[in-house]
Chains A and B, each alone.
Chain A
Amino acid sequence: MDCRFVPSVCSYCGTGCGVLYEVIDGKIHSTLPLKTHPVNQGKLCIKGWSLHEHVNSFMRLKQPLVKTFGRFIKTDWDEAIQIVADRFRDIISKHGPDSVGVLVSAKITNEENYLAQKFARAVIGTNNVDHCARL
């Protein structure tokens, strides 16, 4: 019997509510609000309450899919990233770097957001960066 309680931060929006995962035998059984967390003080919205559902969902993507001739084909990360890089290079050489935009997310960390804008500016060469929390 392995029952653990893992404190974490809700991954849905930029608020950063504290959540507590109830993990029974390696599977997240339910999500609880972290009572002593200074941000949410023991309260959660419906998305936070159902965090475990998308972790356990059978529809969750576990490997990259590449759309080839209208169908999604399962592939590995190396190949998927290579395909993305090739297509980006094509588009940038044909239409210029400003034809690409980068949309980042509140669901990823601050550091990852920093990296994404760095990628947009230094690698692609565009200032087209936006974020879902810039309302």
Chain B
Amino acid sequence: MQQTVKNWLSQGIVDIFLGYKRCHGHALPHCFCMEKLEEVDELVESPARYSLEKIATHIAAQKPDLKIGLLARDCNQRALKVLTIWNQLRSDQFKMLNLNCCPSGLKKHADCSYLEPGTPGAYKKQVGIDNTMSLNDVQAFTDEERLSRWMYEFQKCLKCYGCRNICPVCFCEDCSLEHNDLVGTGKLPPEVPIFHLVRAVHMAGRCIDCGLCEDACPVDIPLRLLYRKVNDLFAELFDYDTGIREDPSPFNVIGTEVSLTPRPMVNQ
């Protein structure tokens, strides 16, 4: 890995490389460059996962001509696809050094910080939604029970905006969650469930199921489950797998002709 990065940098294939380096015992994102080539020996695959592609969009916004290399786990690769589709990065602006991280047939566990969701407490299991549940298990509750369980989760919200801030595919200049007419200010919890549902709707066709939002949530709201449901509906309606497809999302309507054939939703 180190040798590949050294080659890329010294041959000018990439101008900078975003990876991880150990610093005071923490594996932190680090920007490797040609001037400090010897640092590349300290490049590590971090157990913690940062959104390197979001950092790359910040750099690309300031230096559009820079070619950015980056360490790309499976989730980073999906996020980069979505960011390219949504015109946040051009495909010639970055080069991925792919890294297998997610569980597969050969290995059971992911290599990243989101190894296993924590075991929920008894109370959360009783009245809320267990983060480790599958969509079908949640769907098995009656409508009233499901609503009350989700409301229990939502009303814990501290409105830290962590889910939005850490999200690799959240890039809007103006965020609906800060819009006074949609989400009132000065109240805790924020208006439930509208706060979370606005975000969930905006995640349709964008969420790449990386789990960073749930990882960053101080109150353990099962956000990943919520967005997975939204994306399932999206895949069903528009036949579009987010993060896998490379053609524009049906919601990305700017600049191209819209040719949607929405199918009616089937009651389950």
What is the size category of the interface that chain B forms with chain A?
Answer: 20 to 34
Docked CA distance A5–B33 (Å)? 14
- Residue from B16, B27, B166 in contact with A3 in the complex, judged by beta carbons closer than 8 Å: B16
Q: Is B218 an interface residue (CB 8 A)?
A: yes
A1-40: contact bitstring with B at CB < 8 Å (1 yes, 0 no)? 1011101000000000010101011000110111111000
**Chain B residues within 8 Å of A106, by CB:** none
Q: Which of B133-167 contact A (CB under 8 A)?
A: 158-162, 165-166
- CB atoms of B31 and A3 under 8 A apart: yes
B110 to chain A, nearest CB (A): 14
Q: A3-B16, A49-B162 are in contact. Are A20 and B58 (CB under 8 A)?
A: no
- CB atoms of A24 and B28 under 8 A apart: no
**Chain A residues within 8 Å of B215, by CB:** 35, 42
**Chain B residues within 8 Å of A37, by CB:** 26
- CB atoms of A30 and B218 under 8 A apart: no
Q: Once A and B bind, how many residue pairs between them come within 8 Å at the CB atom?
A: 77
**Chain B residues within 8 Å of A42, by CB:** 48, 113, 215-216
**Chain B residues within 8 Å of A61, by CB:** none
- Residue from B30, B158, B161, B166 in contact with A32 in the complex, judged by beta carbons closer than 8 Å: B166
Q: Is A100 an interface residue (CB 8 A)?
A: no
Residue of B nearest to A3 (CB): B31
Residue of A nearest to B28 (CB): A5
Docked CA distance A42–B215 (Å)? 7
- CB atoms of A43 and B63 under 8 A apart: no
Q: Which of B40-58 contact A (CB under 8 A)?
A: 47-50, 55, 58
**Chain A residues within 8 Å of B158, by CB:** 45-46
- CB atoms of B49 and A44 under 8 A apart: no
Docked CA distance A5–B59 (Å)? 13
| A-B contacts besides A1-B15, A44-B216, 18 pairs, CB < 8 Å | A5-B28, A5-B31, A18-B26, A20-B28, A29-B58, A30-B58, A32-B50, A32-B166, A33-B166, A36-B27, A36-B47, A36-B113, A42-B215, A43-B160, A45-B158, A45-B160, A46-B159, A46-B160
Please give the residue numbers on chain B whose beta carbons come within 8 Å of chain A beta carbons, in ascending order.
15-16, 23-31, 33, 47-50, 55, 58-59, 62-63, 66, 113, 158-162, 165-166, 215-218
Task: Give me 24 A-to-B residue pairs in the complex whose CB atoms sit less than 8 angstroms apart, sorted by A's number.
Answer: A1-B59, A1-B63, A3-B31, A3-B55, A5-B29, A5-B30, A7-B28, A22-B55, A25-B62, A30-B58, A33-B162, A33-B216, A35-B48, A35-B49, A35-B113, A36-B26, A37-B26, A43-B162, A43-B217, A45-B158, A45-B160, A46-B160, A49-B162, A49-B165
